[in-house]
Amino acid sequence: MSRRSFALVASDTPEARDAKTRLEARYDTADVDTAEVIVALGGDGFMLETLHRFMERAVPIYGMNCGTIGFLMNQYVEDGLDNRVAAAQAETLHPLRMRADTVDGKSSEALAINEVSLLRESRQAAKIAISIDGVKRMAELICDGVLLATPAGSTAYNLSAHGPIIPIGAQLLALTPISAFRPRSWRGALLPARAEVTFEVLEAAKRPVSATADFTEVRDVARVSVREDQSVDLNLLFDPEHNLEERIIKEQFQP
């Protein structure tokens, strides 16, 4: 078990900042630009920020929970951090790539680790058509919104919207409606990870819709296409006894 150099980054909360100060006094840490591992101190939101921040470097991220839920984090323990980082097991995730075209003809792209979500901007329900790999599967979904979630994101917003939890490695994405009005019986779908999903906003001027990929929001969209980008690898490190696959299975048996 070889030691790996690591750098510490912390969310902007007193608990996380204090933890970083204590750990820096205790361990010989590296610079964030040269470290072999980034240790992120915070909650799940900060883990997403850290993954986005270091995405181009493709450096593994080891999180320690200084937040609330900490689903993507390891337990915060100060003892033996160097040994834990060296023994940690990697889970490789691929983000979703969103392309959003707005009603005024502009286009933008963004990556999402958890989900891409479309939400109504006004008091009126959104009307959205959904195509999978070029085949229209739903001509009109009347709803507050709809989202497409990765396995890592399936326990977050997707679960709150009553979508399914997806095990890591299942090669699936969750397509989940948000407060569907018509058809009311539709509860969503499980799609192959390789699928390209296209959302067309119907009556976009009258019923405006925004699209969000993690932290990137695009307002007044007319068309949004989403696919998994397998050219981008995101490596999360977990203690062997608390790996991400075990957490996702355990989450499905919570009362």
Same structural domain for residues 163 and 182? yes
Q: Taking phi first (over 0 means left), then psi (-120 to 50 degrees means alpha), and beta for anything else, what does residue 138 get?
A: beta
What DSSP designation does 73 have?
S
Answer yes or no: do 116 and 34 share one domain. Answer: no
Give whole-number Cα distances, 174 to 76, 114, 161, in Å: 30, 11, 11
Which pLDDT score is estimated for 67?
80
Query: Closest Cα partner for 175 from 164, 189, 192, 196?
Result: 189
pLDDT at position 19, please?
A: 97
CA angle 129, 228, 173 (to 5 degrees): 65
Just list the catalytic residues: 44
Indicate if 115 and 87 belong to the same structural domain.
no
For residue 1, the model assigns a pLDDT of 59
Q: From 240, 237, 239, select the one nearest 60 (Cα to Cα).
A: 237
Residue 161 has a CB neighbour count (10 Å cut-off) of: 22
Q: Do 18 and 60 belong to one domain?
A: yes
Same domain, 175 and 68: no
Whether residue 152 is found in the same domain as residue 58:
no
Counting the structural domains of the chain, the total is: 2
Q: Looking at residue 167, what is its pLDDT?
A: 82
Q: Is residue 1 part of a domain?
A: no
pLDDT for res 155: 86
Per-residue pLDDT of the chain (255 residues; tens, 9 = 90+): 578 899 999 999 999 999 999 999 999 999 999 999 999 999 989 999 999 999 988 899 999 999 877 788 999 999 999 999 999 999 898 999 999 999 999 999 999 999 999 999 999 999 999 999 999 999 999 999 999 999 889 988 999 999 998 887 789 999 999 999 999 889 999 999 999 999 999 999 999 999 999 989 999 999 999 999 999 999 999 998 776 777 777 777 776
Query: Do residue 100 and residue 37 come from a single domain?
Result: no
119 and 217, same domain (yes or no) = yes
Omega prior to 208 cis, within 30 of 0: no
118 and 182 assigned to the same domain: yes
Identify the pLDDT of residue 241.
75
Range of the structural domain that residue 124 is part of: 96-228
Whole-model pTM: value is: 0.86
SS3 of 176, please? strand
